[in-house]
Structure 1
Amino acid sequence: LANLWNEGREGGYAVRHSRRPVNDFGHPQSFGDSPPEAPEENFFEKAYPYLFPYGCGGIEASRPVIVEFRDHVKWCLQYYDRHFRLNPTFSFVIFGISQRRQALAFARIQMKRRTFEADARILSTITVEKLKKAQDEEDANQPISDPAVRLLRQHIHATAARIFGSDQSRYQMRSQVWATSVSLNPPSLWITINPSNLHDPVTQIFAGENINLDTFLKMAGPDKEQRAKNIAADPYAAAKFFHFMIQTILRTLFGVEVTRFQVKSKCGILSRVSAYFGTVE
């Protein structure tokens, strides 16, 4: 807390940024026989005092029974009063941390490959000039000529392809789609399903509005302005509605039922579906 003095008088107060980076990597790990390091202050308890007003109970905080990051986040987003998911930054910070951990985990897998030491020696020859030249070649729609830059790009694509929501993961799925089309043969249907979360009363139920489905009306619920505010304030409700509608359409129209451990297919309006890919734009 810093006092902003103004001409010898007491001024306002401001909170300074710390010079020490915050650790958001979760539980400390022990290596070999050495005990784990002493836990640091929990990031979520300090960053979100409104969500954790007693300064305890944060995600991956020290507790007798370890709760995994994914399970605790799921509990927070499904909490009954919705104050976690209504926070304007909580969901996005969680998603960013999850993506970063995925990237680091898969980068570690890449580093354990037998060829990585030889690749590292090649990668160490990359200079700024080589990267600029590769950028110019890509801008001109030409293949990259430098083998070290090509190797770097290969490692980046291999790591990022396993990260949810990355461009490389979409490239990989595109290849799988084409391979499936070749393997199973036509006909193939390319369908865009775009449920409207802004005007659907089901979305408003997920967002906390009290709507009686026994007397269901098409325009039941609040007016359009309030509906827009509800969706903007609760992105989890919009995502849950989208997931619910897609699963319902797949099950009722196409006979595809997706469970946690398997995918079942039965006869639908297009007979039995051999395979399907669902991507989110």
Structure 2
Amino acid sequence: MQAHAIAFEAPIPKLYAVLPPARSDLDDVLAIMFRGPCRPSADHFKCTPFLVRRQYVVDALQWLQLNHHNYRDIEISNANLDTYPEDFPPVTVEYRETISTVIPEGTSVHNMEDEHGAEDGDCPFIVHGVTGEQFGRMSDLALKAKALQHFNANKAVLTVGHKSEPESIWNNPQLYPQMFPWLFPYGLGGIGSTSMQIKTHAKLLLNYHDKRFQTDPTFPFVAFSHSQVKSATTAGFLLAEKSKFKDISARLGRIDTNVMQDIINRMLTDERVVPSSDAEKLCFQVINDLDHAAGRVDGSITSKKYMRNEIWSLIYHRRMPVWYITLSPADIKHPICIYWAQTNEEFRLDDLTDSDRFRAVSSNPVAAAKFFHYMVGVLIDDICGFGGKPGYFGNASAHYGTVEQQGRLTVHYTFTCYCG
């Protein structure tokens, strides 16, 4: 893992005791820009998601007032709501005349399309963030150089302030409802609100009946990241409690950073480094100390090293495996995976095109992971015979498998088995 999720409390410029807010206040946070050869008409606005239906707003506010503890004291203003038009967006609409709807900055070199847009149905819209997609593949040095060039040109900068101290992930049951209000509409039930561990609670939420936690693009990553942070912190705490902590702190104070960097550079070239000098032995001892903490973290380099040691020990004990395979289930073609991925009340596999199947599975990675787990269980229990009955290849005595990511961001299973 190369990144972790950390949460900061964002400053709120204004708290409203009366909802909805006055129409003029919306212009401070939102504006709409149309591009094209003609000004937008009422029919164009009907294709956008920016029209307000007053009755829907009233129903939503009344529901929040009754069910969400943070909205119990609000006042619903019908006077403010009456100022919201139903046939025109309630915010400022800017129009820029262009002959084509193609944006030059976002156009491919080999672009062959004259227009970007939809002839019928919903109108696509773009939410502009702090950085564009062109920065996604830049290295850290390239990003710094681009930022320096931007500053030297005296161009504007948008800063997003936040609290100086991050929010705690320990004993903070309101953290997840504040980060994901659309997933916790009652403002309750966040991770940490019960005695369950974060992994158990996250698994329970990911199996929620309407699958909103499964299809959210951020929640699974944040929950897994916080689980890793807690595992590393707990392991470090346990290590610090031991009597040899004084020796560890002394080694950290005596370590030679130049020797450590030399060891790192040699390891990067796949050299098998054997410590010879006292300085190198000290560096390796510090690495072993760090492994005590990192070994408890799923996906860490140390956990992978422990797995390699386990498979080497198994080969030494059982000799070479009988067979070695890589299992890659066809999730986008299997009806079980597609059924788990969809949210429709009625499941009809014959009505789905290849594109529909691909979209269903790619929009629900949790369903793909559950299907992968199910297929691996079938392989281990039924085919190999570890479920209490003989397998297709005789009596299995041992097996070992690792989960790896493949090119299309799904996973496959590398499996070794000892039969007979």
Task: Decide whether the 8 Å contact of 2:173 with 2:190 is kept in 1.
Answer: no
Which of these residues, 247, 257, 266, is aligned with residue 137 of structure 1? Answer: 266
Task: Decide whether the 8 Å contact of 2:173 with 2:191 is kept in 1.
Answer: no
Structure 2 equivalent of residue 50 of structure 1: 182
User: Which of the pair is proportionally richer in strand?
Assistant: 2
Amino acid corresponding to residue 169 of structure 2 in structure 1: D
**Matches of 2:311 and 2:374 in 1, distance apart?**
23
Deviations 1:195-252 (A, max 9, x none): 011221211111125436xxxxxx7452122222222221110000000111112222
How far did residue 91 of structure 1 move? Answer: 0.4
Deviations 1:135-178 (A, max 9, x none): 33334526255233212211222322232222322221222122
Structure 2 equivalent of residue 279 of structure 1: 402
How far did residue 276 of structure 1 move? Answer: 0.8
Structure 1 equivalent of residue 227 of structure 2: 98
1:107 to 2:236 alignment:
yes
Task: Decide whether the 8 Å contact of 2:173 with 2:189 is kept in 1.
Answer: no
SS of equivalent residue, structure 2 residue 212:
coil
Structure 2 equivalent of residue 164 of structure 1: 298
**Matches of 2:335 and 2:211 in 1, distance apart?**
18
Task: Decide whether the 8 Å contact of 1:201 with 1:221 is kept in 2.
Answer: no
Runs of 4+ displaced beyond 4 Å: none
Which of these residues, 304, 307, 312, is aligned with residue 178 of structure 1? Answer: 312
Amino acid corresponding to residue 215 of structure 2 in structure 1: L
Structure 2 equivalent of residue 32 of structure 1: none
SS of equivalent residue, structure 2 residue 403:
coil
1:230 to 2:360 alignment:
yes
Amino acid corresponding to residue 285 of structure 2 in structure 1: L
SS of equivalent residue, structure 2 residue 238:
helix
* Alignment map for 1:112-261 (pairs within 5 Å): 112-126=241-255, 128-140=257-269, 141=271, 143=273, 146-208=280-342, 210-211=346-347, 220=350, 222-257=352-387
Structure 1 equivalent of residue 191 of structure 2: 59
**Matches of 2:282 and 2:320 in 1, distance apart?**
41
SS of equivalent residue, structure 1 residue 275:
strand
Identity of aligned residues (%): 26
1:20 to 2:152 alignment:
no
Higher relative contact order (CA 8 A, sep 6+): 2
Structure 2 vs 1, CA of residues 116 and 188 (structure 1 numbering), >3 Å: closer, same or farther? farther
Gaps of 5+ in 1: 4-9, 28-39, 213-218, 258-263
Structure 2 vs 1, CA of residues 142 and 175 (structure 1 numbering), >3 Å: closer, same or farther? closer
Task: Decide whether the 8 Å contact of 1:123 with 1:151 is kept in 2.
Answer: no
Structure 2 vs 1, CA of residues 118 and 88 (structure 1 numbering), >3 Å: closer, same or farther? same
Gaps of 5+ in 2: 1-11, 15-25, 31-159, 405-420
Amino acid corresponding to residue 399 of structure 2 in structure 1: Y
Which of these residues, 267, 270, 273, is aligned with residue 393 of structure 2? Answer: 270
How far did residue 19 of structure 1 move? Answer: 2.2
If the length of structure 1 is used for normalisation, what is the TM-score? 0.77
Task: Decide whether the 8 Å contact of 2:198 with 2:223 is kept in 1.
Answer: no
**Matches of 2:246 and 2:222 in 1, distance apart?**
34
Structure 2 vs 1, CA of residues 124 and 70 (structure 1 numbering), >3 Å: closer, same or farther? same
Task: Decide whether the 8 Å contact of 2:361 with 2:367 is kept in 1.
Answer: yes
SS of equivalent residue, structure 2 residue 254:
coil
Amino acid corresponding to residue 17 of structure 1 in structure 2: H
How far did residue 47 of structure 1 move? Answer: 0.4
**Matches of 1:166 and 1:139 in 2, distance apart?**
17
Structure 2 vs 1, CA of residues 160 and 13 (structure 1 numbering), >3 Å: closer, same or farther? same
Structure 2 equivalent of residue 6 of structure 1: none
Task: Report the RMSD for the aligned CA atoms in angstroms.
Answer: 2.6
Amino acid corresponding to residue 238 of structure 1 in structure 2: A
If the length of structure 2 is used for normalisation, what is the TM-score? 0.53
**Matches of 1:67 and 1:173 in 2, distance apart?**
28
Structure 1 equivalent of residue 201 of structure 2: 72
Structure 2 vs 1, CA of residues 54 and 187 (structure 1 numbering), >3 Å: closer, same or farther? closer
